[in-house]
Amino acid sequence: DAKTTQPPSMDCAEGRAANLPCNHSTISGNEYVYWYRQIHSQGPQYIIHGLKNNETNEMASLIITEDRKSSTLILPHATLRDTAVYYCISADGGSNYKLTFGKGTLLTVNP
């Protein structure tokens, strides 16, 4: 079973920020938080990952709470092409890359 909880769906207006929450209350000290997304009928795409500090890259920002029990993925200016299922995954950041996918959040960006 997935160790994270995400809302099943969210909507966002084009051009606005999309904030996707994730609960991972049982995350252990050596586990990272990974975010992937899957556009319909394609393989998952890596977005970002973090351990305890907030992270930012060209795609998104990841905000992790101080107790590490939850996080938020932020797409600063959502576009229609960001419509996808977003998966939040907690997993060992070492040599074990085994990722267990939950149901994710279907983000729909509306014009």
Partner 1 sequence: GAVVSQHPSWVICKSGTSVKIECRSLDFQATTMFWYRQFPKQSLMLMATSNEGSKATYEQGVEKDKFLINHASLTLSTLTVTSAHPEDSSFYICSAARLAGGPGELFFGEGSRLTVL
Residues binding partner 1 (CB under 8 A): 2, 32, 34, 36, 38, 41-46, 48-49, 51, 87, 93-95, 97-104
Closer CB to partner 1, 25 or 45, in the complex: 45
Q: How far is the CB of 12 from partner 1 (least distance, A)?
A: 21
Closest CA to 86 of 39, 49, 54: 39
Q: What share of the chain is helix, strand, coil (3-state, %, to 5)?
A: 5, 50, 50
Closer CB to partner 1, 53 or 111, in the complex: 53
Q: How far is the CB of 13 from partner 1 (least distance, A)?
A: 25
Q: How far is the C-alpha of 65 from the C-alpha of 78, rounded, in Å?
A: 23
Closest CA to 104 of 39, 12, 15: 39
Closer CB to partner 1, 94 or 111, in the complex: 94
